Amino acid sequence: MRILWSPWRYQYVKSAIGGSNECLFCKIKDQNDEDAYIVYRGEFNFVVLNAFPYNSGHLMIAPYRHVDSLEKLDDRELLEMVHLINDSIRALRKALNPDGFNIGVNIGRSAGAGVPGHVHVHVVPRWTGDSNFMPVIADTKVLPVALSEVYKLLKENWPRKY
């Protein structure tokens, strides 16, 4: 059995569950788009860059409404979320040209949700060879593109302009 270990994520998880009882996504949704790295705002959901990404371009799609699981979203929220997953893939392909994607939802703390009270979808671009020894040996994740640059590229390449 192989185990995926990502020690660089601890800072994010610690900040999400410690220090403040305020939900990370509820806090972000009220901030300035550029300061919070919000790439797109839909009617029911928003797309934001992960400030502690697995890879450059790691996006999260979260509903404005604070719910803890997908089945609690209404049909309009859920449909828009799926459209935004596709839009995220399109924008990431144009902006960063990844070889593939990981898309996932962690529902509940036991499933690995860093923000267990507010459901969200992760869209993580992947490149052949993007995993190496640095996170395991040096406790360091190498991200070749700055968040501010990725934000700019995704805003420029976002496919939907409602």
Question: Active-site positions?
Answer: 120
Are 127 and 98 in contact by the 8 Å Cβ rule? The answer is: yes
Tell me if residue 38 falls in helix, strand or coil: strand
DSSP secondary structure string for all residues of 17-36: HSS--S-HHHHHTTS-HHHH
Helices 75-96/147-157 angle, 10° precision: 110
Smallest CA-to-CA distance from 45 within 87, 108, 95 is with 87
